[in-house]
Amino acid sequence: MAQRRKSPAKRRSRPAPNLVIVESGTKAQTIKRYLGRDYDVLASVGHVRDLPKGNLGVDIENEFAPTYVVPRDKQKTVTQIRKAAAASDSVLLATDPDREGEAIAWHLMAAADLDEKKTSRVRFHEITESAVRDALNSPEPVDDRLVEAQQARRVLDRLVGFKISPILRRRIPGGSSAGRVQSVALRIVVDRERQRREFVLEEWWTVDGRFGDPGTGVAAFSARLYREGKELRLDAASAEALLDPLGQAEYQVTDRQQSDRRLRPQAPFTTASLQRAASNRLGLSPSQTMRIAQRLYEGVRVPGRGQIGLITYMRTDSVSVSGQALDAVRGYVRTELGEDFLPARPNSYKTRTRNAQEAHEAIRPTEVALSAAVLGEALDSDQRKLYDLIWRQFVASQMVPGTARRLALDVAAGTDSEHVFRVTASRVIEPGCLQVASYGPRISAEESDRFDYLSGRAVGDPIELLEIESQKHASEPPPRYTEAGLIKVLEDEGIGRPSTYAAIIRTLKDRQYVSSQRRVLEPTQVGEFVTDAMAEFFADIVDVAFTARMETELDRVASGELGWVDATGVFWERLDRDLTNAWENLKKPVADELLEEECPRCSRQLVKRLGRNGIFVGCSGFPECRFTRDLQDSGNGEEPTAVGEPCPDCGSDLVYKQGRFGRFIGCESYPDCRYTRQITEPTGVQCPDCGEGQLVVKKTRRGRTFYGCERYPACEYSTWQDPRQKPAQSAPPKTAKKSAKSEPGGAIVGECPRCGKELGVKRGRYGEFVGCSGFPGCRFTGKIADYVAAESSG
């Protein structure tokens, strides 16, 4: 009888002799793949200790000693790390290579009670096998100076938040809070908004002409009138007075100038420049950019390669690149693009950021041979766009400059040397770094055609003036900051650090201190109240120079020049003085003020209230009575006038309201329903596009009047021209060159093939031609015979 063989007993899995601790699960997976069985890799998933949420957590009288606690959701993680570390021969703290990562490593040692004798710190700036193994072979102790710099920042932020926020909430009901760096960023946004309000509009007129070859009737280019080398800016009457004499003249090319300029490559990305480029070129918010970059850094699964880190560490203010990376990218340019695109020596760049730490390399791909095209479906859409941006910036940074050529022609009447029409056009003649880069001059097809035309013209060539007109212009207020623009200001002023830019903007939006439409930041009324209160009582906190100096002090702590307690003490001394003054002089809140008015619905007293969009007037009987009106309304105790229509969003009545930009229509259930629309003034003119609606008067966001179809968005027709104005009478032949806009209603012969607007018959020196009614926005012209023939043959 055959004996049954006993199955071998299952071996108990023994822990690996080495334990590596990182922040994220993705990073842990990537590193584990490189290290094999001798290493276990665990993730802390961010910080494991912090100041308590419910109280200050800082003992001011005891040298600002912080009290750290392990949050409930991190206790299981800490226990797991403690057990794994006790069973391992060595523990390697491989958190991110910056102050925040250094602090996480320090907190891990304390929270998990790690044995200092077998615990060390390893740092790498890219998650590749060679970088990770090199770091493991060069362990170091935790850098206490970096830990103290981070601790000082955390304590300063806590002091500001906990000490100032109660004052703000007393002054501005509704949960207002302060932040050390966010407050100065908010002030920058608010100051720009107030500059816009104080802006004084200036208007001027220019004289523009459309020119072409004699006898063709086809416009080849438009040019603007210059005098003594400068664009001629006039008042309306002076510009109009020039049209007839200039319209009678014969013209020729009087000067031709050609110049070349070098288009130098840009440095590889820092955190701030990546966030700006991703916002401007890809439409990504700073938070989105950092989230995607984090994933690219920690590792992406690539077919045939496994999970690999694709970019270097994404929180950096340095533009430096390692010698190994320089050799790799120069080899790639030489092989893939050719020697003509490779500079004789590597391009070098200097970091221009104020207070730059330059602790890391610039953001670059870890393997330059892995382009976005090579990676293909390994990346999702957003990852592919951002990686391609980083890859192109890095490769282009080690290429030769491109060259752009600019042509400028002056056209003048033979008898008038004072007035000159000038036209320019540019073209890239040597691509250089632009062969790869995602930046560079954007040259339209129209400019390219114009460059070709100007290239064939010489001094003395006759040119025909086909049209002449005066154009009205107006100065514009300084633009609001985009998210990218605010980051640029913070970087230039030395406020915050690469790791904080995205968080600053996110906090301002989350607290509804700013609104963001298409990444353009506009302060809310609450945000302006907060800034005013901070400026009144805490001028240092919202002072750009003071905040930048504090960043310098924190850098000194990181370098060991200054103790963190000393740096915190100097800051607290000034803050404590301001706190005492604020509490002694605190005024009544900006809202919750009873008004000397009765509610028109229930006769209770009306009160000022503060909502997400600023102060409004509401009934003190809320929520039983929900009457509200805007603060700017007359306050005569009368109910707003009803429009006679239901709100399309909630079904309540629509009423006429008064806002800071004039009267508008809104829902009576505000603030519960925020439906609004413009009040439109009918013109009595039928829409020429759809033929169903009539044209109404509208205004842009900047207050400029235009005219559009009342059926919008079903019909999108719009025009700057007032349709109620009667067209001028025909001018005599010699002055018929005035703008087609003021020409008598010439026959409409079709639709513009470029922009879709009407094509009309126009008159020039040598007869009639066809031009777009959208001039000067669209400058299409053609021979009238082509269109008349087409019409008659239809």
Q: Which residues are catalytic?
A: 313
SS3 assignment, position 665: strand
CA angle 720, 516, 493 (to 5 degrees): 110
Alpha carbon distances (Å) from 385 to 2, 379, 399, 582: 67, 9, 21, 49
Nearest to 630 by CA among 611, 616, 640: 616
Distance CA 608, CA 583 (A): 23
Number of other CB atoms surrounding residue 62 within 10 Å: 7
Q: Determine the Cα–Cα distance for residues 207 and 249; give it in Å rounded to an integer.
A: 14
Residues 331-363 as b or e (16 or more Cβ within 10 Å = b): ebbeeeeeeebbeeeebeeebebebbbebbbbb
d(CA 262, CA 603): 73
Give the largest CA-CA distance in the chain.
126
Strand arrangement of the beta sheet that strand 653-659 belongs to: 642-646, 653-659, 662-667, 676-678
d(C-alpha 745, C-alpha 772), whole Å: 13
CB environment 153-164: b (16+ within 10 A), e (fewer): bbbbbbbbebbb
Q: Output the six-digit token pair for 303.
A: 């077919």
Backbone dihedral angles phi then psi of residue 279, each to the nearest 5 degrees? -70, -50
**Residue 425, H or E segment:** strand 419-430
DSSP label at residue 590: S
Q: Report the distance separating Cα 289 and Cα 275, nearest Å.
A: 6
Instruction: Residue 305: count other Cβ atoms within 10 Å of its Cβ.
Output: 13
Instruction: 346-349: list long-range contacts, CB under 8 Å, 24+ apart.
Output: 346/398, 347/265, 347/397, 347/398, 347/399, 349/267, 349/268, 349/319, 349/320, 349/397
Residue 459 DSSP one-character state: T
Cis peptide before 623 (omega within 30 of 0): yes
755-762 own/partner pairs: CB under 8 Å, 24+ apart: 755/780, 758/688, 759/787, 762/466, 762/467
* Residue 540 vs residues 374, 398, 545, 555: alpha-carbon distances, Å: 52, 43, 9, 19
Q: How far is CA 726 from CA 697, 720, 741, 780, in A?
A: 17, 15, 12, 25
Q: Phi, psi (5° rounding) for residue 376?
A: 55, -125
Q: How far apart are CA 794 and CA 776, in angstroms?
A: 30
Per-residue DSSP letters for 136-205?
Answer: HTS-B---HHHHHHHHHHHHHHHHHHHHHHHHHHHHSTTT----TTHHHHHHHHHHHHHHHHH----EEE
On whether the CB atoms of residues 656 and 665 are closer than 8 A, the answer is yes
Both tokens of 589, joined, read 């809140």
Contacts of 680 (CB under 8 A, 6+ apart): 696, 697, 698, 710
